[in-house]
Amino acid sequence: MFLPIGDFPNPKGYVAWVTWLLIAANVAVYLLISLPLTALAPDPADPALRAYVDAVAHQLPPGVTLQDFVRQLSAYDLFVFEHGFKPGAPAVDDLFASLFLHGGLGHLAGNMLFLWIYGDNVEHRLGRVPYLLAYLLTGVCATLAFAALDPGSMVPLVGASGAISGVLGFYFLLFPRNVVKVFVALFPILFRTIHVNARIVLGVFVVIDNLLPLLGGAGGGVAYGAHLGGFLAGLGLAWLGERAGWRRPGGEPRDDGAAALRDARRGASPEQLARARLQMGLSLMQQGQPVAAYHHLVSAAELAPGTETARQAEAALRALTG
């Protein structure tokens, strides 16, 4: 098992209020709606029950009889059928409602873990309102991508994973040097935490966890198309934002000090550029901007390996990441 459990660096002293509110909203929907309805059996006389059974009966897994399927239904299944997004009967309100419904505790927990890990950096970079709009927009794009792969399906899509995949797309482009803490459990041999470049972790998520299963026709209730659609939407919006020269909240330049290094780049040796990167990184650390500082310090260490500049950059990185 390989499970991301954190990332670094993170914006110092910054409270990602929108990320926390999104997590709270998803948890509240689960506790107040999903959990109570899951404990209730559907009313046999409810017309929605027949409509639901008629819609999904032909898509039952092998070995599952219709009688067994009906016996395990709950009132929440009918609620999901009404408010989840159905490609065969699309509705605008379902596009958004489906982003806050989940299929169970494990589904919710996994999505919220990923939102907690990656959301704060993206929110800090975009700003609170643009981040919220981007979250919702990429969630809609993810849902539409899912619908495009099976346009006549009446099986409802639920979950925040499409929108969160959009956040991952932003993260992939905007934080190429960040590091993800991954818990590795190879029972009973190995239990440890390793540090992996964020782009490698997200690349595995895209290719191994989603693209290959989609191409291989895997099912299992996982919306691979939605994950890929959301990720590509986030990646595309981040690329457009970078091309447009967006600025971070508070007027900070989006390239984290690149303008200050422009002169150093012209005709400078790698050692000179490394020293400039080191000074910029140390300055940003003192200003309480660890994310931007981290990127400059890594560049300093890579530009002049084995030098005193690189050793100072590595020492600063150790202090920054603990």
pLDDT, tens digit (0-9, with 9 covering 90-100), for 171-219: 999 999 899 999 999 888 889 999 999 999 999 999 999 999 999 877 6
Tokens describing residue 10? 């993170």
Report the pLDDT value the prediction gives residue 148, as an integer from 0 to 100: 94
C-alpha–C-alpha distance, residues 3 and 106, integer Å? 13
Report the pLDDT value the prediction gives residue 265, as an integer from 0 to 100: 56
What's this model's pTM, rounded to 2 decimal places?
0.81
How do residues 248-278 score in pLDDT, each as one tens digit? 544 344 444 454 455 555 667 888 888 888 8
Low-confidence ranges of the chain (pLDDT < 50): 249-257, 259-260
